[in-house]
Amino acid sequence: MANQEVIQKMKDALLAFDEDMAQAAAEEVVSTGADIVETMKVMGDTMGEIGEQFQVMEIFLPEVLLASKAFKVAMKIFEPELLKSGTAQGERPRAVIGSVKGDLHTVGKDMVTTMLTVGGFEVKDLGIDLDASTFITEADAFGAKIICVSALMSSTIAQQKTVIEFLKAKGLRDKFKVMVGGGPCTQSWADSIGADGFAKDAVGAVEVAKKLIAN
């Protein structure tokens, strides 16, 4: 079956908010050897479409929640497949990741976690709704070189700056590289708050993280 056809099935599953359809589509992606990363990109865009439907009140929170559950079901099937093709070997640079205080969105952060792991990093997922001190204490304890800070809303994005300001206040700014991302985040925002890196998606996050480690 052509790549596009099976990827379309996944898109249809998310737009139907249907976990079972998503599971079947994910299994078909794997069994037909369709491009998993390409599928994940389409899934990310589809969540954006779902967000637009939510914004104009064509759908409501329960549907959005079901779509994100369907997304996660598919990711669970993709993760082991991606890891098989991963570059992870020997000592891996460490990173922590989480969503900022007040932000409960997990899907994008989880996708970045998977791609960084596939890309050769050892990643500790700290979860959601994290205050600045938790990011830093956990990064220190884990021996992370990179702190990845996700924010999905215009009301929570300022928390990315808080993490950087907190590092400065503790005299730890030079100890970690800070990478930011999430819906409202842009390169110019990242520059304005003094972040070391920004990527608009999970694939880009791997490239940026590798550069940060190399420097």
Per CB under 6 A, the list member of 39, 106, 113, 159 interacting with ligand B12 is 106
Nearer to ligand B12, 93 or 108 (CB): 108
Piece in contact with ligand B12 (CB under 6 A), picked from 6-14, 19-27, 80-88, 174-182: 174-182
Q: Does 36 bind ligand B12 (CB under 6 A)?
A: no
Binders in 145-164 for ligand B12, by CB under 6 A: 148-150, 152-155
Minimum distance from CB of 187 to ligand B12 (Å)? 11
Binders in 183-212 for ligand B12, by CB under 6 A: 183-184, 199, 201-202, 205
Q: Could you give the angle at which helices 132-142 and 158-169 cross, rounded to 10 degrees?
A: 60
Nearer to ligand B12, 21 or 96 (CB): 96
DSSP string, 64-105: HHHHHHHHHHHHHHHHHHHHHT----SS--EEEEEEETT---
Give the pairing type, strands 122-130 and 94-100: parallel
Q: Does 105 bind ligand B12 (CB under 6 A)?
A: yes
Q: CA distances (Å), 75 to each of 20, 83, 211, in order?
A: 13, 12, 26
Round to whole Å and give the CA distance between 120 and 133.
Answer: 26
Nearer to ligand B12, 1 or 58 (CB): 58
Please enumerate in sequence order all residues whose Cβ is within 8 A of that of 125, keeping only pairs 6 or more positions apart, or say none: 96, 97, 98, 109, 110, 113
Q: Contact letters (x/-) for ligand B12, 43-82, by CB under 6 A?
A: -x--xx-xx--xx-----x--xx--x--------------
Piece in contact with ligand B12 (CB under 6 A), picked from 7-15, 75-83, 167-175, 181-189: 181-189
Minimum distance from CB of 58 to ligand B12 (Å)? 11
Instruction: Provide the token pair at 174.
Output: 């030079």
Instruction: Provide the token pair at 197.
Output: 């890196």
